[in-house]
Each structure stands twice: as C-alpha cells, then as structure tokens.
Amino acid sequence: MSDLLIKNGLVITMDEHGNVISNGAVLVEDGRIEAVGKNVKPKTKPEEIIDARGKIVMPGLVCAHVHIHMSLLHGSPLDLSCSSTLLRQLFEEKIGRREARMGALLSGLELVESGVTSIAGDLPCSIGGGKILEEVATLLERVGLRASLGISVTDERSDREGARGVRENERFIKKMRKKRATKVQGMLGVGDTCTVSDELLCHVREAADRCRARVSVETSRSIVKVYSSFEKFGKGNVERLGDLGVLGPDVVLTYCVHLSRNEISLMKKSGAKVAHIPISDVLEGGKVAPVVEMRAAGIPVGLGGGGYSSDMFQNVHFAYCIHKLQSVDLGMLSLYELFKMVTVEGAKLYGWDGKVGSLEKGKMADILILDPSFLPTPVLSTNVFVQVLRAGRRAVETVMVGGKFIVRDRRLLTVDGVRIKEEAKGMIENLWKKLKKS
Ligand SMILES: [Zn+2]
C-alpha cells in the first residue's frame, strides 16, 4: 500500500529538465518517492491523501554550510557592532558544550521550520572534546533533519587542539557508519585555511582518504584572509590547498570570495565543490564570490547561511540581489539557478545527489508543501520561483523528511519547539552579557 498521495499541487520537481507540473501529484512509499506527474495512479488506495490545491510542492531545501552553534547570536545587539570574524572568535571562546548543544537545537528548529531538510553543520574546534558531535547528532536526529556534521579544526591555538579535532571527526564518521545512521553522517571540517598549518591540512587529507569522508574547508572569505595567506605561506589559499594535495572531488570549499583565475582552474581540475554564503559576502564587504564563473567552469555550488541566517529563502534572496548588483547581465544568475543551488546542486556537495534535492522516482521523500495564498498576485507555473521567493518561509506549511512529517500544518511535530525556545532565552541573555563585557 502507498503511504501518501499529494495531489492537485503546483509541483516544482527540480529534475534535470526543470519541470514544473500544474495539478501535479507526488506518490510516497516507504519513505521514498514512488511517482511524480500529472496522472499519478497508485496501484492501491494510499493510506493518506493530501489535496494540495492552491499550494506549491517542492523538494526540501539544502543548506550547504551553517555554524550550528551561532544561532545563539542571531538578533544579538552585538552582531554588527564589530567585525563578524572578531565577534565569532570572542563568542566561540565564551561558549561551552551546554551552549553549543542549545545553539544546535535552536538552529535545527529554525532550519526545519523554514523548509530546510538537509544541512552541513560545523562546530568550533574550541568546544571539541568529549562527545559533542554525538550529542548534537542526537538532537538533530530528534528534530528530524538530515545532516553532515564535523568540527572545524584549526591549530591556531595549539597543535594538540587541531589534532584532537581531526581525531574526533574521524571517530564520529566511523561511529555514524557503524550505527548505520540514516540521516546523520560525519565529515572532516577545517576552519579558515589561514589558521591551519600545512601539517594539519595534510593530516586532514590523510584522514579523508582513510575513512572516505567529505572535507569541508573554509577559505578566502575576505581580502584580509588572502593577504594573511600570502604573508604566512607565500601563496593564495586555494593555491596552497592545491599544492598540498588537499583538493579533490570530496572537498567542499566554503566562502571562496577572493580567488584567482588559476585557483578556479585548480578547483575545476580537482573536482572540488563550493558552498557560497551570500550574507557573509555582504558583511565582510568588498566583493561577491565569483559564483557565475565557478558554475560556468562546471563547479557545483551550493548555498549556505554560515553563522548569519538559517532561513534559506532569505539566503536565496540575498544571493539574487548581490549578484544582480555586481553584474551588468541581469540574466546571469536566475532565480531558477539559485533554487537549483539550494536543492539539487547543493545535494551534490555532501554526497546526497541521487538521494535528495529533487522530486523524482526513487529519491527520498524530502518534500515541502507551501501555502502562498496570502500573496495578492496569482501563482503560476511561469512565475512560481519568484512567488516562492516572495512568500518565503511564511508559506512553509508542511515539511517531510524521508516520508516522515516533521512540520504539519505549520506545527512542529518532533520536538516541543515553543518550550525549547523559551528555555534558551535565559541562557542566551547571559551569554550576550558576558560578550558585552569582553
Ligand atoms: Zn563558515
């Protein structure tokens, strides 16, 4: 028996032809998509039928890079008063594992409530130790998200801390595999390349080869980071990664704002992928990541919110605006291309292609139902992407991951979100006070 038939919706498939189906249907069976189309006829009566008339049905969103602990800073009176990098350092020194857990949980809630079903999340090296990755994995599994998790290692403070981070990442990767975790996987995170020695970068590469896991590296976020790399190592960040043999198809480079032509070519040759963080480009100032050039070179690019926003509709909007501002060709990066980056293309970054990111037979049933009825203008197959953007997270009515309802009729079903948010407020206020004093 089929589990669920969603019918009469405006279905955005994000398949390779970009099909949008009016009065379309999606059939779900055993957590996977069994059929998508105009005339879907289940062989037997489905257990449940959702009439999505007037609604949009689309794949769950992929957030390609999020600092899951940094939700504790969202809305802080401090967040724009000093350099975001400096604030992040101060903040990461002040938080312990308890705060990191709460931050991750709050991020999880905000992500899923805004239609995100898969994330790549990192935690700072300073709060490693113990089993923080396992603890965060348990919380995110409880919320219902798909996640790739890792500690962003650096040996800026000590060699010991860097080596410990790699060990913890490797242990976590193996543990998730042994457990046969279906939603959470480990990855080898690397903090800003300027803060990581050649030895540690090579150590991460060896670990990735040993356990065949993805590597996520933060790099070339601002011009300061490029100067710093030339000063310390005599070359650009990505060039250095290339020379050390770190680049490869299993590597996701985050930020990538200031790149030379040679570096883009190195990335292309190695098969490395990119997570673009548009809000970071704005806050760091100076330049927008060369997304059009990277994609033209065949490099898959996903979108992330970094430490700034878990709302991927907002991140798409930011990206749409900043790339329009910098390019004379207004058609360069269309909304359709941006939605590809936040679904099917983003899924390629962490090995989820073939599994999530589009509504196609055989893929996991990670599905959103949006209700855009509050918009004053019609939603048609010809304007659906712009209307999805206008409606944003307000329209997210139902979120399903692997065929399981996480949000239904705007109500979070997996955890008590209201209580968690209430409990977090006291902790966050104290943290903000501590940060203000320092
Ligand atoms: Zn980051």
Distance 392 CA to ligand 1 centre (A): 23
Q: Could you name the CATH architecture of 61-349? A: Alpha-Beta Barrel (3.20)
Distances in whole angstroms, Cα of residue 339 to Cα of each of 192, 195, 219, 260, 302: 27, 33, 24, 27, 10
> What pLDDT score was predicted for residue 299?
98
Distance 140 CA to ligand 1 centre (A): 19
Q: Which fold has domain 4-59+358-412?
A: Urease, subunit C; domain 1 (2.30.40)
What's the pLDDT tens digit per position in 203-246? 999 999 999 999 999 999 989 899 999 999 999 999 999 999 99
Q: How confident is the model at residue 436 (pLDDT cuts 50, 70, 90)?
A: confident
Percent of the chain with pLDDT over 70: 96
Q: Residue 398: pLDDT above 80?
A: yes
What's the pLDDT tens digit per position in 321-379? 999 887 766 667 899 999 999 999 999 999 999 999 999 999 999 999 999 999 999 99
> What pLDDT score was predicted for residue 282?
86
What are 335-339's contacts with CB under 8 Å, separation 24+? Answer: 335/385, 335/386, 335/389, 336/18, 336/385, 337/295, 338/303, 339/12, 339/14, 339/385, 339/388
What's the pLDDT tens digit per position in 59-102? 999 999 999 988 888 888 775 544 566 677 777 777 888 889 99
- Is residue 52 helix, strand or coil? coil
Distance 67 CA to ligand 1 centre (A): 6
Where do the CATH 2.30.40.10 domains begin and end in the chain? 4-59+358-412
> What pLDDT score was predicted for residue 328?
64
Where do the CATH 3.20.20.140 domains begin and end in the chain? 61-349
Distance 259 CA to ligand 1 centre (A): 17
- Residue 93 or residue 133, greater confidence: 133
> What pLDDT score was predicted for residue 93?
77
> Token digits for 13?
């498939």
Instruction: Give dist(CA 429, CA 345) in Å, integer.
Output: 38
Distance 18 CA to ligand 1 centre (A): 30
Distance 125 CA to ligand 1 centre (A): 12
Q: What is the mean pLDDT of residues 128-152?
A: 94
Whole-prediction pTM: 0.95
Q: How confident is the model at residue 297 (pLDDT cuts 50, 70, 90)?
A: very high
Distance 306 CA to ligand 1 centre (A): 5
Distance 4 CA to ligand 1 centre (A): 37
Distance 376 CA to ligand 1 centre (A): 37
